[in-house]
Amino acid sequence: MLKHLNAILMLLFISSMLLSTATHAKSKERLGINKQGIKVWTYQTKDNPMLEYRAETVLDTTLENATGLILDVERGKKWVPYMSDIQVIERDDKAGEFIIYCRMDFPFPLNDRDLVIQGNYRKDSNGRIIIKNKAINDPRVPIKNNVIRITHYEGDWIMTKLGAKQVKVTTSGFADPAGSIPTSFVNTFVEQQPYQMLQKMKQQIKTVNYTAKDLPSILK
């Protein structure tokens, strides 16, 4: 079984992501990118000045291999931009629950960002793998000097088996990056970031071979 969980690897450039909820009025999605088998839509919800996104692609691999890649914390640093540190605080593989700490190495002159994520993963009645996450406060992870703590974040991954070796991957999310980052700066990344992340994921999936035995029992 994988030793580490990496459900956060669904974000990332964390400063541009937000999962929409039923309590927010959602504007019509706009398809901003459609190339190399990757689509990225953007939209806004009421009272949120930052764009939100949904992105998807199809991987030529098994459902187990795609899931294993997302749950492999160390390998996540190879395909999630700006991710510099990921640590598992606690987890319960039987319940499909976890708490992890993540740190993003932002380019100068921005301060680095970090956050504590509480999440869960499950397989639904249609066989899809669903991973959901949100930021929480945790006294076990004190705030660090010169690092800005993100406290408003939600995101998810959904993996749907299309065939023996074909999986549709959908990711969406949102985070308030906190601090003094202009909204206009954040919004410039909303389309490009998930596109680049899924590009790298498509490359990484070719280098791994996870099977059902590598996954938590709740996902089998």
Domain boundaries, the chain: 14-214
The Cα 1–Cα 140 span in angstroms is 25
DSSP assignment of 77-116 equals: TTTSTTEEEEEEEEEETTTTEEEEEEEE-PPTTSPEEEEE
Query: Who's near 205: CB < 8 A, 6+ residues apart?
Result: 59, 60, 61, 65, 66, 69
DSSP reduced 3-state for 66: helix
Residue pLDDT, tens place only, 71-119 = 887 788 888 878 899 888 998 989 999 999 999 898 888 899 999 999 9
Q: Give the pair of three-digit tokens for residue 116.
A: 């504590």
126: confidence class by pLDDT, cuts 50, 70, 90? very high
The Cα 164–Cα 161 span in angstroms is 8
What confidence score (pLDDT) does residue 27 get? 67
Residue pLDDT, tens place only, 131-177 = 999 999 999 999 999 999 999 888 899 999 999 999 999 999 877 77
Decide yes or no: CATH 3.90.470.20 for domain 14-214. Answer: no
Exposed, middle or buried: residue 25 (CB in 10 Å: 0-12, 13-18, 19+)?
exposed
Task: State pTM to two decimals.
Answer: 0.82
| Of 189 and 44, more confident | 44
What confidence score (pLDDT) does residue 77 get? 83
What confidence score (pLDDT) does residue 24 get? 43
The residue written with tokens 């990484």 in the block is: 204
Residue pLDDT, tens place only, 27-48 = 688 898 999 999 999 887 776 6
